[in-house]
Amino acid sequence: MLREKAGELLHAAVNAECEAFLERWADRRDDHGRRAVVRNGYLPQREVLTGLGAVPVQVPRVRDRTGAGVRFESKLVPGYVRRAKSVDAVLPWLYLRGIAQADVGAALAALVGREAANLSGPVIGRLKASWAAEYAAWQRADLSHERWVYVWVDGIYSGIRAEDHRLCALVVVGVNERGQKRFLAIADGVRESKQSWREVLIGLKQRGLVAPSLAVGDGALGFWAALDEVFPVTRAQRCWVHKTANVLNYLPRSLQPQAKAGLQAIWMAETRQAALKAYDTFLLVYQAKYPKAIECLAKDRDALLAFYDFPAEHWVHLRTSNVIESSFATIRHRTDRVKGAFSRGTLLAMVYKLARAAEQSFRRIKGFDWIAEVIRGVKFVDGIKQDQIIEQRRAAA
């Protein structure tokens, strides 16, 4: 019954589309004064595979009496379409979510009917080719039309081999002046080396990226060394999630909950002064017995507290690189289920498609209206605009 009703709706919609087309040509006349563009029956019936199964459809045909070649081509059901967009969308979704290419047909048949059983193999092959082309074009996209204020970076290691080595995807996410987060780069690198990151950053610069105000990432020295060369004015903010994990690795398991709370007291402090006080307390408690843990924390002290010089509304976003980690949970799910080796191009294209899918769920950062002030170079102290602090002190006096 649902398929029947869907067919009726589709038939009515295509006919309404044809009537609108004829109306646009209503003023054209032939040599005898008759309407030049008129209905001329239907094209042969064909079936379109939808989420409800196969639905029959007949597209109206029109005739141009002047011989000028005016044709009606439905936008709802173009001539080449044999599947609804919902089915085309579920094919890559099934594949990228961990269903092997050989099993996509069976999974799709269970969802929409036996008509879909033979679609998967060649369709997935063509999809992967189109992903590669789309990824190549995306890598060259111009970035100069927007100002990218903050960037988050990370190296994502894949569980599958790209030709003869494990892929390390070097990922950059940026936030523009409207507070929108977007992927800016996804490239393969060699163990997050300086040279690999340098090539990524130079590529972004050539595409029009102006030096961001702040870069957020883990302690991979390759990125920070490359950043100093390519964008020396960009400030560094180390990721507190990565730093916490690294410090706790040097402590006994029995002490880790207590130490984690001590670290949280640092980055959750309301002011830099309070953070430094919590920092000194942590050093006092653990320095004598666990010097390696303290050394791990101390070497990045300034970079860990850089976020205090930016709007307080942005702190929740700037203290970690979780925007990348959470987005790439899907790629790890996928690679856990894939055996054998992929080509470098295929794997990067797959990572790209997963990333762009995750990008659709990105939310604007909190307090995005403060971004304009950051771009203008306004100074913030403990997350508060400096002139606001001056006004508060004058009012208190």
Asked whether residue 60 falls in the same domain as residue 107, the answer is no
Q: pLDDT by residue (tens digit) across 104-116? A: 566 555 544 555 5
- C-alpha distances (whole Å) from 324 to each of 138, 186, 383 are 18, 11, 24
Beta-carbon contacts of 145 under 8 Å, excluding residues fewer than 6 positions away, are: 208
Asked whether residue 129 falls in the same domain as residue 167, the answer is no
In a domain, 328, yes or no: no
Asked whether residue 158 falls in the same domain as residue 41, the answer is no
In a domain, 194, yes or no: yes
Q: Is the pLDDT of residue 272 over 80?
A: yes
State which H helix or E strand residue 169 sits in. strand 165-176
Query: How many distinct structural domains can be found in the chain?
Result: 4
Structure tokens at 125: 């092959």
CATH number at residue 149: 3.30.420
Q: Is the pLDDT of residue 366 over 70?
A: yes
Asked whether residue 261 falls in the same domain as residue 244, the answer is yes
Asked whether residue 152 falls in the same domain as residue 220, the answer is yes
| pLDDT over 90 percentage in the chain | 44
Structure tokens at 277: 């006080």
> Cα(first)–Cα(last) distance of the chain, in Å?
77
Structure tokens at 57: 């459809």
Asked whether residue 110 falls in the same domain as residue 254, the answer is no
Asked whether residue 130 falls in the same domain as residue 147, the answer is no
Asked whether residue 120 falls in the same domain as residue 156, the answer is no
In a domain, 218, yes or no: yes
Q: Is the pLDDT of residue 146 over 70?
A: yes
In a domain, 72, yes or no: no
Q: Is the pLDDT of residue 222 over 80?
A: yes
Residue with tokens 């002139």: 387
Asked whether residue 271 falls in the same domain as residue 379, the answer is yes
Q: pLDDT by residue (tens digit) across 277-316? A: 999 999 999 999 999 999 999 999 999 999 999 999 999 9
Stronger pLDDT, 321 or 151, i.e. the higher one: 151
- Average pLDDT of the segment spanning 248-258: 95
In a domain, 77, yes or no: no
Side-chain half-sphere CA neighbours of 101 within 13 A: 11
Asked if 160 contacts 130 with a C-beta cutoff of 8 angstroms, the reply is: no
Tell me which of 138, 155, 175 is where a domain ends.
138
Three-state DSSP class for residue 60 = strand
Cβ count near 268 (within 10 Å): 14
| Calpha distance 90→77 (Å, rounded) | 19
pLDDT interval class at 96 (50, 70, 90): low
Closest-CA residue to 83 (of 119, 42, 59): 119
Best-predicted range by mean pLDDT (28-42, 124-138, 188-202, 239-253): 239-253
Which has the minimum average pLDDT: 61-75, 100-114, 168-182, 237-251?
100-114
In a domain, 245, yes or no: yes
Asked whether residue 248 falls in the same domain as residue 380, the answer is yes
Asked whether residue 156 falls in the same domain as residue 229, the answer is yes
In a domain, 69, yes or no: no
> Domain limits at 261?
240-319+371-392
Judged by phi (left if over 0) then psi (alpha if -120 to 50, else beta), residue 190 lies in beta
pLDDT interval class at 132 (50, 70, 90): confident
Q: pLDDT by residue (tens digit) across 25-57? A: 888 888 888 888 888 888 888 776 565 567 777
In a domain, 384, yes or no: yes
Asked whether residue 134 falls in the same domain as residue 148, the answer is no
